[in-house]
Amino acid sequence: MKLELELKSIKPMPAHQRAMLNILFTASWLDCTITRQLRPFGITSPQYNILRILNGSAPKGLSVLDIKSRMLDRSSNVSRLVEKLRISEHVERVPHGKDRRMVIVTISDAGKKLLSEIEQARFMDGNGSTGNKLSEAEALDLALLLDKFRE
Amino acid sequence: MKLELELKSIKPMPAHQRAMLNILFTASWLDCTITRQLRPFGITSPQYNILRILNGSAPKGLSVLDIKSRMLDRSSNVSRLVEKLRISEHVERVPHGKDRRMVIVTISDAGKKLLSEIEQARFMDGNGSTGNKLSEAEALDLALLLDKFRE
DNA sequence: TTTGTTTTGGTGTTAGAACATCTAAGTTTG
DNA sequence: CAAACTTAGATGTTCTAACACCAAAACAAA
């Protein structure tokens, strides 16, 4: 649906403002659907984000700051999120050998299992994952425009 | 900067996933810059959103549910946000004549003044508002792709 | 009318975001 | 070496998002 209809906006907006509001609105919409998809698995969206980051760098682990620099939302509190994931046994924490300030976090087997379960469920869900209405070329285009938007 | 660089991602991502992550990342980035711009004015980003909505429908006011349906982030708690804005005297609340369940919220003169101050400051800021690196056509394109993404 | 349902807005609760601050370990410099 | 500074991570605090739930008013049906 067009943004103007979603927001019941009457007056037409300038193109740049429309793009900006649309980014915020679409992200909020997307975050909402992801949260809904994750709920049955007892995991939150930032926790899921961390798990995917760790999975991407497995079998090597990452330090807390490394995780933070790779996160979508960099204002979040990685220490506490990692602690939650450790309690639910989806990640493991080992002190770094050389630098005793550092903690290396790795995804556990249970964490990997959870990720694949979630991936399966999302695939089953709405005949493929969210946002697949776009063609391959359009998805590439969208990503490029967003990169440029942030410049 | 390219998303892959921002997130220090090594492996190339499928186009749809890249678009999705880019939406979330860009929105988080955008929200962060907006929050920083609003800080000197003692107002939060959802509060600012409400003020703009009310300004758009002034001099008529809107009910709480009407505001909610027009918000970017629809999960937010409009009652409490409006109460904050009422305390800071940027909005006024009057009970609806006919339907005593309803409350009509309108922007105050102080609220309008704040909005124009913010607009000025944002214009002064980074030689125009955020996201202006896009051409008019690109901004239109981006908005269209986001509309399609949500389908 | 009375009873049940829907709509509108407010509130209670919990987890996390947004900030600052703190401790310990490492690094640099005099 | 010691003192100053930097870095990594944890923690304390405040505010709010995300949910559920509640009360009152309007509405509908018997």
pLDDT in tens, chain B (151 residues): 888 888 887 778 899 989 999 999 999 989 988 988 898 899 999 999 999 999 998 889 999 999 999 998 877 789 999 999 999 999 999 998 889 999 999 999 999 999 999 988 877 765 456 667 899 999 999 999 999 999 8
DSSP three-state, residue A94: strand
Contact partners, residue B144, CB within 8 Å, separation at least 6: none
Contact A30 B18 (CB under 8 A): no
Distances (CA, A) of B151 to A25, A134, B69, B100: 13, 9, 18, 37
- φ, ψ of residue A17 to 5 degrees: the values are -65, -40
Residue closest to B20 by CA, chosen among A27, A38, A120 = A27
pTM for the complete prediction?
A: 0.92
Q: Which nucleotides of C are covered by protein (CB under 7 A)?
A: 7-12, 15-19, 24-27
Q: Label residue A10 left, alpha or beta by phi (over 0 means left) and psi (-120 to 50 means alpha).
A: alpha
- Six-digit token pair at A60? 């090597």
Interface residue B56 vs chain A (CB under 8 A): yes
CB B85 within 8 A of CB B71: no
pLDDT of residue A74: 75
Interchain contact B31–A (C-beta under 8 A): yes
* Spatial separation of the C-alpha atoms in residues A109 and B59, rounded to whole Å: 59
Rounded to an integer, the average pLDDT of A78-84 is 94
Q: Which of B9, B11, B134 sits opposite A19 (nearest CB)?
A: B134
Q: CA-to-C1' distance for A98 and D16, Å? A: 40
CA–CA distance, A57 with A121 (Å, rounded to integer):
23
> What's the pLDDT band for A129 if we cut at 50, 70, 90?
low
Q: Which of B22, B32, B75 is nearest residue A143 as measured by Cβ atoms?
A: B22
Cβ contact (<8 Å) for B72 and A132? no
Burial class (CB in 10 A: 0-12, 13-18, 19+), A45: middle
- Sheet containing A103-107: give its strands across: A62-63, A103-107, A91-95
Chain B residues near residue A133 by CB distance under 8 angstroms: 148-149, 151
Cβ(B28)–Cβ(A27) below 8 Å: yes
- Reported as a single tens digit per residue, the pLDDT across A23-66 is 999 999 898 888 888 988 989 999 999 999 999 888 899 999 99
**A130 interfacial to chain B (CB closer than 8 Å):** yes
* Cα first-last separation, chain A: 28
**Confidence check: pLDDT of A127 > 50:** no
For residue B69, CA distances in Å to A146, A149, B88 come to 26, 27, 23
Q: A43: how many CB neighbours lie within 10 A of its CB? A: 21
Q: Could you tell me if A35 lies within 8 Å of chain B, comparing CB atoms?
A: no
Q: Give contacts of A146 with chain B, Cβ < 8 Å.
A: 3, 19, 22-23, 25-26, 142
Task: Select from B151, B146, B107 the least CA-distant residue to A25.
Answer: B146
Say what percent of chain B tops pLDDT 70.
95
pLDDT for position A131: 64
**Percentage of chain A exceeding pLDDT 70:** 95
